[in-house]
Amino acid sequence: AQTVTQSQPEMSVQEAETVTLSCTYDTSESDYYLFWYKQPPSRQMILVIRQEAYKQQNATENRFSVNFQKAAKSFSLKISDSQLGDAAMYFCAYRSASGGRRGAQKLVFGQGTRLTINP
């Protein structure tokens, strides 16, 4: 079974600074997808960024980028120019790419990192 580990329960950063959230995962599969989701106090999970394991290039979405190290099974999220609206719980998630295999469609989540932005 796949597992996802986020070792930082809480992080804080000054507004406009850069912060990196860590995520490691364990899998025996070679093809999969990785995601970072943001959960503000409203509880609604919002997709921040995703990475296909077969792609070597790290994904980027505006101020959000990832450092994907497949061999190390590491998938960190970097938030540049942090803004007050970035304050939330951040979850790293894994999804198999073996669409036909039972259990492949679900997301496997880490425990989350609570990010605080200091003005």
Partner 1 sequence: GAGVSQSPSNKVTEKGKDVELRCDPISGHTALYWYRQSLGQGLEFLIYFQGNSAPDKSGLPSDRFSAERTGGSVSTLTIQRTQQEDSAVYLCASSLMGQQIYEQYFGPGTRLTVT
Residues forming contacts to partner 1 in the complex (CB under 8 A) are 33, 37, 42-47, 50, 52, 91, 95, 97, 99-100, 102-112
- Shortest spacing between CB 109 and partner 1, in angstroms: 4
Cβ-based neighbours of 53, under 8 Å, separated by 6 or more:
30, 31, 32, 33, 34, 68, 70, 97
Closer residue to partner 1 in complex, CB, 10/103: 103
CB 107 within 8 A of CB 96: no
Residue 26 backbone dihedrals phi, psi, to 5 degrees: -130, 125
- Shortest spacing between CB 55 and partner 1, in angstroms: 12
- Shortest spacing between CB 58 and partner 1, in angstroms: 17
